[in-house]
């Protein structure tokens, strides 16, 4: 569709003066596309991170026993292990708990008077019912709590999702701003070439023929802007991704985009060009209709 609008014969192409790719439309398209791609990439990175966090915690649960019943941890661990679908149960050693608390409490963390709760991590197989495990543990140790790790991360995940929606809203707003800029560019180019339009109308050119000429000009500008933005965004994102992957290497997860995410990023400039050409088409037709 776009190629059809770009390709015209040599004589047709000459009807508008060749001005090169230095108009404001190229710059506007480049800036808007760059921001949209980068913001969308940030949103996808957040979604990726949220997905990694969720997948890493959705099967992990924690048995917590208050300090008073900490001695009953082996019973709770045995009860959990007896349930089908439990892949593994690991008691967290008291020394490890005190080591963790030491960061906040200092030497006081090693005081025997400090009540330390008992904990064990539980890894469930996919499809296992956490309520069954909780019931089995609580039957043996009534004061035990059985919580999913993802529950602890719920506020963080909510924030990540809010940021994703914000990024999506920003991409949409940038899209609307791009369309508005194209409307202004289309009206501007029509005003610049008003005399040519008048002559062509007078000679019998249809609105469609005139629109096609200007549409072609805007399509070329939009494509040039989109290509420039894509190259710039790719360089920036690759640089950021390089740093991020080095940082995340030790964490055991990756920040690389999957094929679906890459497809979304590639689709943004393509969609922007399609929207620009469509908006230009309707703006030009509407503007031309104001003349006889």
Partner 1 sequence: MRYGTGAEVLRDLDFTLSRGGFYFLTGASGAGKTSLLKLLYLAQRPTRGRIRLFGQDLSDAERDSLPHFRRRIGVVFQDFRLIRHLSAFDNVALPLRIAGRDEGEIHSAVREMLEWVGLGDRSGARPATLSGGEQQRVAIARAVITQPDLLVADEPTGNVDAEMAKRLLHLFDALNGLGTTVVVATHDLGLLAANSGAEIMRLDSGALVDPTGLLRNPPRMDRREARP
Judged by beta carbon, residue 132 or residue 192, the one nearer partner 1 is: 192
282-290 contacts: CB < 8 A, separation 24 or more? 283/182, 283/183, 283/186, 283/187, 284/186, 284/190, 284/207, 284/210, 284/211, 284/214, 284/215, 285/207, 285/208, 285/211, 287/186, 287/187, 287/190, 288/190, 288/197, 288/201, 288/207, 288/210, 288/211, 289/207
Q: Output 220 or 227, the one with its CB closest to partner 1.
A: 220
Both tokens of 7, joined, read: 């390709």
Q: CB of residue 203 vs partner 1: minimum separation in angstroms?
A: 5
Cβ-based nearer residue to partner 1, 103 or 289: 289
The H or E element that residue 48 is part of is helix 24-57
Token reading at 9? 């014969």
Closer CB to partner 1, 100 or 209, in the complex: 209
Task: Point out which residues bind partner 1 (CB under 8 A).
Answer: 9, 11-12, 14-17, 195-196, 198-207, 209, 289, 292
Q: How far is the CB of 212 from partner 1 (least distance, A)?
A: 12
Which is nearest to 237 in space by CA: 248, 245, 225?
Answer: 245
State the minimum distance, in angstroms, from the CB of residue 285 to partner 1. 11
Is the Cβ of residue 165 or residue 282 nearer to partner 1 in the bound state? Answer: 282
Smallest distance, partner 1 to C-beta of residue 277, A: 22
Least distance in Å: CB of 13 to partner 1? Answer: 11
Q: Is 44 or 189 the residue whose CB approaches partner 1 more closely?
A: 189
CB of 48 to partner 1, least distance (A): 51
Give the list of residues 6+ apart from residue 79 with CB closer than 8 angstroms, or none: 136, 137, 139, 140, 141
């Amino acid at each position: 569709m776009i190629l059809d609008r770009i390709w015209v014969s040599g004589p047709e192409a000459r009807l508008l003066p060749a001005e090169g790719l230095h108009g404001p439309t190229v710059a506007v398209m480049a800036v808007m596309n760059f921001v949209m791609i980068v913001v969308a990439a940030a949103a996808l990175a957040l979604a990726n991170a949220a997905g990694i966090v969720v997948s890493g915690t959705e099967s992990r649960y924690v048995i917590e026993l208050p300090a008073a019943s900490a001695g009953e941890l082996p019973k709770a661990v045995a009860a959990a292990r007896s349930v089908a679908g439990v892949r593994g149960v690991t008691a967290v050693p008291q020394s490890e708990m005190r080591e963790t608390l030491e960061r906040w409490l200092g030497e006081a963390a090693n005081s025997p008077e400090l009540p330390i709760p008992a904990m064990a991590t539980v890894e469930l197989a996919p499809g296992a019912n956490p309520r069954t495990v909780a019931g089995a543990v609580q039957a043996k140790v009534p004061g035990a709590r059985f919580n999913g790790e993802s529950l602890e991360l719920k506020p963080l995940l909510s924030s990540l999702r809010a940021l994703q929606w914000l990024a999506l809203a920003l991409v949409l707003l940038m899209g609307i701003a791009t369309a508005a800029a194209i409307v202004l560019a289309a009206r501007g180019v029509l005003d610049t070439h008003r005399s040519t339009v008048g002559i062509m109308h007078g000679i019998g050119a249809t609105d469609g023929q005139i629109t096609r000429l200007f549409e072609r000009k805007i399509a070329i500008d939009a494509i040039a802007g989109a290509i420039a933005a894509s190259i710039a965004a790719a360089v920036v994102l690759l640089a950021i991704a390089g740093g991020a992957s080095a940082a995340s290497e030790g964490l055991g997860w990756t920040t690389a985009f999957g094929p679906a995410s890459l497809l979304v990023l590639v689709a943004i400039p393509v969609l922007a060009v399609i929207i620009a050409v469509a908006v230009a088409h309707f703006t030009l037709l509407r503007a031309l209709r104001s003349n006889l």
